[in-house]
Structure 1
Amino acid sequence: MRRPPRRGAVKTGRALLAELFNAALRAADPLDTIGAHLPPPPKGRTVVIGAGKAAARMAQGVERRWQGPLSGVVVTRYGHGAPTKQVQVIEAGHPVPDEASAAAARRMLAAVRGLGPDDMVLCLMSGGGSALMALPAGAISLEQKRSINQALLRSGAPIAAINTVRKHLSAIKGGRLALACGAARVVTLVLSDVPGDDPAVVASGPTLPDASTAQDALRILEQYGIAIPPAVRAVLEDPELETPKPGDPRLERNSVAVIASARQALQAAADAARAEGLRPLVLSDRLEGEARTVAQAHAALVQGVIEHGSPLRPPCVILSGGETSVTLRGSGRGGRNAEYLLALAVALQGAPGVHAIACDTDGIDGTEDNAGAVLAPDTLQRAAAQGVDARALLDNNDGYSFFAALGDLVVTGPTRTNVNDFRAILII
């Protein structure tokens, strides 16, 4: 088995994968990346608002570098807070919104009320913001919006489709929060967790124009067989409640910048791989699709590397990002990264010299307490020795239980960043 040249002690496959994942996390840390994107202070007030799993960390980064007074409020997931002095941090429910989510949305609207043309709103958005600032439009109840959100998450719909629906059921998303800022200039800084890095998709774009329509949202709900209550249909069929569109003159003073993305995280991991004597291949930063289908395609790619040295020769690492999905057919535990990795294990059948990691960069795989898991050449062998049936657990969408039984979960706790999934397959 060939091994890459390294200085000092030989690192295990698991240690190498952890090093690559940590390099990706460092590259996506908003505390370090936000400074280069801050605008000059305005003549008037600066009000900070924000939502997402990285929102508190982003606010912390702003406070460290801002010259002048600040005020405002951001909302993040429970346990993902960070210490701030001038910006209030609220914690709320994710992925299913709760009353704290609605309270945070109302608090943001209050924070930007009455601003003038000399004032500026600094909006800090990251993945997870949609659920964290839930304020239903029209006569829609929070329970109805929560029920539709849960159904969409179970349906296997891609995140862009889910956010299209969320925008049109909200009184704050899809550019509506920007309208609430009145004459103030709005500068939006985005930590992107979406394939393609469209800032209007992140957290359902509360301060950005919305190119989708209410009719698009209706079609998505119908496509995935999700029940549409009368109050929801009434909002989606009311042209007066449509979101502001690109070119809307009310938004012409505003600007947006992406401060970190999966592409940057993967590039940092590739640089770390080269430093360890590995040949890196970044497949894509925007992979989507069923987690197990993506895993099967990656297993075929690995076989090509092992058998033919194509598209690259070992020692090497194949990197990818994006956001896969899982259509639930079983009742097991586990997010999309555990599902991907278990499907990869089944497809590879213990291929020698192959190690892998799949983690969500926010530290939470789905709704579990792990970021993801790791795979080794002996994973299936160790599982069989313990009587753990990989195929049966995969059929039950129970990747969490599989890797927990082997002690191969990756548990980071909240990372306070979010550039979506990180996958690395190491071939040595």
Structure 2
Amino acid sequence: MKRRTFIKLSSEVTAGSALAPLTDWVPGDRLKNWAGNIEYSTDKVSYPKSVAEVQSLVKKQNKLKSLGTRHCFNRIADSKYHLLATKHLNKVIELDAQARTVTVEGGMKYGELAPYLHQNGFALHNLASLPHISVAGSIITATHGSGVKNGNLATAVRALELMTADGSIVRLSREKDEQQFLAAVVGLGAFGVITQVTLALQPTYEMRQNVFVQLPMNQLQEHFEAIMSAGYSVSLFTDWQTESINEVWIKSREDEDNKPGQEFYGAKAATINLHPIAELSAENCTEQMGVPGPWFERLPHFKMGFTPSAGKELQSEYFIPRQNAVEAIEAIQRLGKQIGPHLLISEIRTIDADDFWMSPCRQQASVAIHFTWKQDWPSVSKLLPLIEKELSPFHVRPHWGKLFTLAPNVLTSRYEKLEEFKKVVTAFDPKGKFRNDFLNKYVFQNA
């Protein structure tokens, strides 16, 4: 295997009709996020095709934001001034077989990278439910998959290359720049444009996916850890309308001897492939029924070439310490009648602890409770404060890229390293070139 590899992967892989077109910007048009609930605040969008072009744009603009695959549901990536879209920055820069690392440009999508890694005998430790998202966009918002021993996607990062406010290129690694590195990886887009990311790899592996239906909710009280540890990655899907978990998705490695049977803590094995939203066709979902396949075709819930999730939707997600998981689930269950009319589906996942300063999982093994809502913000905006109130005893932290209504002072009080984070950001970007209204409200309100 060659140590250095320069490959241009297709940037034209689409995710189905529900994704907004990813063609180049036409003056006068404004981009929307993939679900269509956010229209960005400027029609000025640039699509650089090289680091040199990124550098020229960064030097020229007084204010701008880097924009990835537009999978955020809030305005964390918005700008009133200028957007720098990274979709053409999708090359594999280097595959180092000896070090077991791959270096890619920040706009690379996991769904593009994963087949290449597999063909060369390598794999990532985990993937999110959607393979359509970019590497840089995922890590800066602490996006994750599931698994009691699996950290979020940012935990695979070994080094970053950033284009800072003055156009300088800064390289940070865990080994040489620990404090700056821990601040910048889950950096919320505040440090600059991520031009390259180096990720840790492991040998490729095969997986299978088994789905079980109607898990009695009361089984979680005594067996939560065992249930969530039943596979390499486990997800629970529920609509909170009955005393059962609708579906349990267990993703297991073929090299682990833990094949599930026909019953799972009172749940029955599914007899056909299922979508997390029972009313929808499973055509868009990754293969189930215990059929072995490559890791990147089992870890996500949805196939790269198809519409992810439901398409037109809203999303919220909340992280709580894993030791409080059952109490938190019971708290949400009490809101079932209020939630039900506005919900498409909810997902419960586990994420291992990490050490990134602005990660919701910093120094705590976590459970994430995710909500996929019907696209009705007036109704959802009234429900989120109720959910946040129920979860407040557990010092809940929301996903940075999804919808929440927590007051800024409440949110920032839950990040012990916030003041240090702001100091490091200011050293990189003293005039706030990469800040926007979202960051000013939720991170820099006291700066």
- Structure with higher Rg: it is 1
Shorter-chain TM-score category? under 0.3
- Is the strand fraction higher in 1 or 2? 2
More helix by share: 1
Q: TM-score, normalised by structure 2?
A: 0.27
For normalisation by structure 1, the TM-score amounts to 0.27
